[in-house]
Amino acid sequence: MQNLTQDRDVLRLSSTTKISPIENMIRWGIFIGYRLL
């Protein structure tokens, strides 16, 4: 269940326009990094 909530949080974060593209890329990089671990 925790993974599902994390997915939703990431989707919500990536859809906010306040986040800069670079910060968004870093966020996705961290997210994907955790996924691969």
Helix axes 21-36, 2-15, angle to 10 degrees: 160
More confident residue, 21 or 14: 21
Residue 27 · residue 13 · CB < 8 Å: yes
pLDDT on residue 29: 92
Share the mean pLDDT of the chain.
75
Distance CA 14, CA 24 (A): 6
16 against 30, higher pLDDT: 30
DSSP assignment of 5-37 equals: HHHHHHHHHHH-TTS-HHHHHHHHHHHHHHHH-
